[in-house]
Amino acid sequence: MNKIKYILALSLILLSSCKIGQKYEQPQMDMPQTFETRGMIEGNASDIGWSTLYSDTVLQGLITKALEHNKDMLVATARIKEMAANKRISFANMFPELGGEIAGQREYTNYGGDAKSYDPEVRANLNVSWELDIWGKLRWANDAGVAAYMQTVEAQRALHLTIVAQVAQSYFELKSLDRQLEIVKQTLDARREGVRFAKLRYEGGLTSEIPYRQSLVELARTETLIPALENEIKLKENDLFVLVGEFPSGAIARGEDIDHQQVPQSLPVDLPSSLLKRRPDMMQAEQKLIEANAEVGIAYTEMFPSLRLTGRLGGENSELTDFLKSPTWFISGVLTGPIFNMGKNKAKHNAAKAAYEQEVYGYEKSVLEAFKEVNNSINTFNKMKEVYRSQQALYNSAKSYHELATLQYVNGVISYIDVLDAQRQLFDAEIALNKATLNELVSVVALYKALGGGLVK
């Protein structure tokens, strides 16, 4: 009899160690060995802290505040807590459940008015219930729970990168708007001086009225630019307030001018295979794939019988003093399984496999998009440097042209129309140089994020 018990117990243990279904394997993609790393150095950009890359202390403070108080980040943190609790539930399902019961009653009966009786009863029991994981269904469910939890962790890390990039880009855009407003105000001062000078020449009979009227037109045209720029600045400040989790009120603090922001000559670029292990969005996509594979395993195991053991141990007696003298116990096993359900379980399995197939293609697309993003960011980073150098040369030429035109106009060599043309070209060159400076900084932000940078301070 004892041998039978041991054999039965061993059989249950062996059955519980069985796990049927397809083990997860990462999809294999024929990726290029390297990125288009022209002008880049070899290394890991994610090792560079964002406080090292963005040296402006005001910007550093905004990023720190955003990472602590941004509402999307707080939502992501709460989501992690939720999925951690759900993961605990799926893990606990693999173990026995133990419950307790204590009850007492007193039953009064009276048959025909003569046979009165009082029947007291006291009982206390420990109840045990355990679904044996014969085919691995509960372990597949636990795998799915872990993968779902890891998705939220990686999603928060991906959001971390995004917030660092969004704050940096918005701050640089704000500084660029500040510089643009400064250029317009400087141009406006020059326009006013031009009006004064044109009026003197007109009233002195040196020129006709046309140059004077033309100077007034240019003054009015420049004045119209200021309200629009001030509005853009306010809207950008409000964007930053929301990013850092605050109500839009007042003004955002400013640090270094956009011309003094540090721009690295290059960023380290690693192998594509290493990038997949560093970018949180790639890790999140793979965890989603792992969860889908586990769901296939769950659906497959549901086509097989399940075994649940239940037991009870306790005591029951009519007198509390004799409670321990009346022990009771029982143990039972219930084997349940599908016999006929019009192919429902098989259909669920096929649906899970189709969902997994979708996730495979989704993962592969994510890899392609990440590879494209890195190559695009590297190319944009290099090209924006070229654009900046070209715009700097254009600005220098326009400045020299304006200085010469102003001098010749004062000496009566050229007309005021020529001066206005020089002023327009200088203004356009200054605006274009400011935009080129911004685009160069934004290209750094985009490349840093594409390479998985931003998690380390």
Note the pLDDT tens digit of each residue in 203-242: 888 778 888 888 899 899 999 999 999 999 999 999 999 9
Q: Is 4 part of any domain? A: no
Q: Is residue 10 part of a domain?
A: no
Within this chain, do residues 446 and 333 fall inside the same structural domain, yes or no?
A: no
Residue 9 lies in a domain: no
Rounded to whole angstroms, the Cα distance separating 232 from 227 reads 9
Residues 124 and 141 in one domain: no
The two three-digit tokens of residue 292, written as one number: 């889908």
Question: If you count them, how many residues does the chain have?
Answer: 457
Cβ atoms of 349 and 300 within 8 Å: the answer is yes
Round to whole Å and give the CA distance between 454 and 156: 12
Domain encompassing residue 320: 97-132+305-337
Same structural domain for residues 260 and 121? no
Q: Measured between alpha carbons, how far is residue 8 from residues 14, 96, 158 in Å?
A: 10, 18, 50
> What is the C-alpha separation between 106 and 120, in angstroms, rounded?
4
Residues of the chain with pLDDT > 90, as a percent, come to 60
Report the CATH number that the domain containing residue 116 is assigned in CATH: 2.20.200.10
Nearest-CA neighbor of 363 among 4, 24, 107? 24
401 and 426 belong to one structural domain: yes
Q: Does residue 143 sit within a domain?
A: yes
Please indicate, yes or no, whether residues 204 and 216 belong to a single structural domain of this protein.
yes
Q: What is the dihedral of CA 281, 283, 284, 287, to 10 degrees?
A: 160
CB 443 within 8 A of CB 409: no
pLDDT value for 61? 96
Task: Tell me if 216 is assigned to some domain.
Answer: yes
Task: Give the Cα separation of 192 and 343 in Å (integer).
Answer: 85
Query: Do residue 263 and residue 393 come from a single domain?
Result: yes
Residue with tokens 């243990």: 13
Higher model confidence: residue 421 or residue 16? Answer: 421
For the segment 181-202, the average pLDDT, to the nearest whole number, is: 90
- The CATH number of the domain holding residue 225 is 1.20.1600.10
- 101 and 173 assigned to the same domain: no
Residues 207 and 325 in one domain: no
The stretch 415-423 carries a mean pLDDT of 87
Q: Please tell me the predicted confidence (pLDDT) of residue 1.
A: 46
Q: What is the mean pLDDT of residues 324-339?
A: 82
Q: For residues 343 and 349, what is the distance between their CA atoms, to the nearest angstrom?
A: 10
Please state the rounded mean pLDDT for residues 76-97. Answer: 93
Q: How many domains does the chain have?
A: 2
Q: How far apart are CA 315 and CA 325, in angstroms?
A: 8
Same-domain check for residues 181 and 314: no
Q: Are residues 191 and 264 in the same domain?
A: yes
In a domain, 1, yes or no: no
Predicted pLDDT of residue 385: 95
Is residue 297 scored above 90 in pLDDT?
yes
pLDDT at 178: 97
Residue 4 binned pLDDT confidence (cut-offs 50, 70, 90): very low
Q: In the prediction, which pLDDT does 448 show? A: 95
The span from the CA of 273 to the CA of 367, in Å, is 10
Which range (14-28, 171-185, 315-329, 343-357) has the least confidence?
315-329
Same domain, 430 and 330: no
Residue range 342-353, pLDDT digits in tens: 989 999 999 999
Task: Examine the pLDDT at 415 and tell me if it is beyond 90.
Answer: no
429-438 residues labelled b (16+ CB within 10 A) or e (exposed): bbbbbbbbbb
On whether residue 153 sits in a domain, the answer given is yes
Handedness of CA 426, 429, 434, 437 (dihedral sign): negative
Q: Please state the three-class secondary structure of the chain as a single string.
A: CHHHHHHHHHHHHHHHCCCCCCCCCCCCCCCCCCCCCCCCEECCHHHCCHHHHCCCHHHHHHHHHHHHHCHHHHHHHHHHHHHHHHHHHHHHCCCCEEEEEEEEEEEEEEECCCEEEEEEEEEEEEEEEEEECCCCHHHHHHHHHHHHHHHHHHHHHHHHHHHHHHHHHHHHHHHHHHHHHHHHHHHHHHHHHHHHHHHHHHHCCCCCHHHHHHHHHHHHHHHCHHHHHHHHHHHHHHHHHHHCCCCCCCCCCCCCCHHHCCCCCCCEECCHHHHHHHCHHHHHHHHHHHHHHHHHHHHHHCCCCEEEEEEEEEEEECCHHHHHHCEEEEEEEEEECCCCCCCHHHHHHHHHHHHHHHHHHHHHHHHHHHHHHHHHHHHHHHHHHHHHHHHHHHHHHHHHHHHHHHHHHHCCCCCHHHHHHHHHHHHHHHHHHHHHHHHHHHHHHHHHHHCCCCCCC
pTM above 0.75, yes or no: yes
**Residue 218 sits in the same domain as residue 289:** yes
Question: What pLDDT band is residue 7 in, cutting at 50, 70 and 90?
Answer: very low
Last residue of a domain, one of 337, 355, 385: 337
The identity of residue 411, as a single letter, is: N
Asked if 285 contacts 370 with a C-beta cutoff of 8 angstroms, the reply is no
- Chain segment 136-169, per-residue pLDDT in tens: 999 999 999 999 999 999 999 999 999 999 999 9
Is 6 within the bounds of a domain?
A: no
- Average predicted confidence (pLDDT) for the chain: 88
Please classify residue 401 by burial: count the beta carbons closer than 10 Å to its beta carbon, then call 0-12 exposed, 13-18 middle and 19+ buried: middle
CA dist 269 and 263 (Å) reads 17
